[in-house]
Amino acid sequence: MGFTSKMFVVSSPISDVKTSNHDYKTLFKTARQCQQHQMVVLRRNKHPQISLYASHYHIMKPRHKATTTTTTTTCILKEERDSSPSFTSCGLKFIRGKKLLSELSTWRIGGPCNYFVQVSDRTQLLSAIRYCREHSIRFLIIGKGSNCLFDDSGFDGCIILNRIDFFEEVKSGIYRVGSGYPFNQLGVRCSNDGFTGLEFASGVPGSVGGGAYMNAGANGQEISDVISSVEILQTDGRLETINQNDLAFSYRKSSFQDMEDLAAIVAVTFKIKPFPLAREQQKAYLTKRRLSQPLGERSAGSVFKNPEGVGVSAGELIEKAGLKGFRLGNAKISEVHANFFINCGGSTSKDMIELINLVKEKVKDKFNVELIEEIQYVSPI
């Protein structure tokens, strides 16, 4: 059997603590009540009666440690994070507890998420968000996961993987693109068509939505320079188109980051100008990127923003602090570019966070500069 979202788990501390018979009875009673309420005894324990009861169910190892008091049996009711089967709602397939965030992040770090769903159009996105809201499930939209640090313990909510990846040429130089479209491909495609403004995007592993959200940029270009309008979905399900004039962008900052009611960016319309050498420019940027960045490695691009008003890049500061190549556990500062931190294989989020904090401390001590993360931490709860 598996759990549905309505089922809960009773995790019993019974094998961990000295409890009286009375306490066993209490637990047994609770378990029976739980059965009526579609709850399940999670933990195998030494008391035969309870074991017998529990044997009607699949008995699993608890994921969370039971806590207890010494005198009374404490049952912890927790929504189960694992072992539940996939289910379908509104035509969408939700995967429970099995999808690893490490598969969804370019860093290849992160434990399982409680719910996972992939959407490929606006209607599906709306349905996924509606489901989460109706069931009070926290949700997070991700594109290519190239800017996220997920936690080893996963995410206690729903990850909505955005694969809204249509590409529409409205007219010459005007493109309407799904937010899940690969940013890298957009750069190559527009340059190939002889338009300028997005050459920098080739080699960037993010999505168009992630790019707009972060105001991605490189080589003196920024996505905001060529955005004409953005279609967003609000948390209440309303769709809105916002024109460039009503949006504010700055270095790695966009209005979207401050919108409390934003559920997701759905599509972006770009207006770009013809330029015969766009393709050459795009190729030159990519060559430079390949030489200066560890593109083949498991990274999240720049970990820190470049500090403003200092005149020195984050990478340079980290290198001058003597940290290039420094390794902590399985997380390492790239030898190629010091603002890229590499998962050498098996790095945990803990390794990475410790490395990030160490770098911040050293740079602060040596140069009195506060480095600020460009990457986004995704907290597990």
Ligand X SMILES: NC(=O)C1=CN([C@@H]2O[C@H](COP(=O)(O)OP(=O)(O)OC[C@H]3O[C@@H](n4cnc5c(N)ncnc54)[C@H](OP(=O)(O)O)[C@@H]3O)[C@@H](O)[C@H]2O)C=CC1
Ligand Y SMILES: C=C(O[C@H]1[C@H](O)[C@@H](CO)O[C@H](OP(=O)(O)OP(=O)(O)OC[C@H]2O[C@@H](n3ccc(=O)[nH]c3=O)[C@H](O)[C@@H]2O)[C@@H]1NC(C)=O)C(=O)O
* Residues binding ligand Y (CB under 6 A): 218-219, 292, 301-302, 305-306, 313-316, 319, 324, 337-339, 374
Tell me the closest approach of the beta carbon of residue 278 to ligand Y, in angstroms: 17
Crossing angle of helices 278-292 and 183-192, in 10° steps, is 140
- Choose from ligand X, ligand Y, none: what does 183 bind? Cβ within 5-8 Å by kind: ligand X
d(CA 172, CA 149): 38
Out of ligand Y, ligand X, none, what residue 51 binds, judged by CB under 5 to 8 A for its kind, is none
Distance CA 336, CA 342 (A): 11
Q: To which residue do tokens 């699993």 refer?
A: 60
**Helix, strand, or coil (residue 204):** coil
Give which of ligand X, ligand Y, none residue 205 binds (C-beta under 5 to 8 Å, depending on kind).
Answer: ligand X
What does 315 bind: ligand Y, ligand X, none (CB cut-off 5 to 8 Å by kind)? ligand Y
Smallest separation, CB 51 to ligand X (Å): 43
The residue number whose beta carbon is nearest to ligand X equals 210
Tell me the one-letter amino acid at 297. Answer: E
- Least Å from the CB of residue 115 to ligand Y: 28
Q: How far is the CB of 379 from ligand X (least distance, A)?
A: 10
Task: With beta carbons less than 8 A apart as the criterion, state whether 62 and 80 touch.
Answer: no
Contact between residue 190 and residue 281 where contact means Cβ atoms under 8 Å apart: no
Binding-site ranges for ligand X (CB under 6 A): 140-148, 162, 179, 183, 204-207, 209-211, 213-214, 216, 218, 264-265, 301, 376
Q: Which does 173 bind (CB under 5 to 8 A by kind): ligand Y, ligand X, none?
A: none
* Shortest CB 145 distance to ligand X, Å: 4
Distance CA 268, CA 167 (A): 10
CB-count burial class (<10 Å; 0-12, 13-18, 19+) for 194? middle
Closest by alpha carbon to 270, among 168, 194, 185?
168
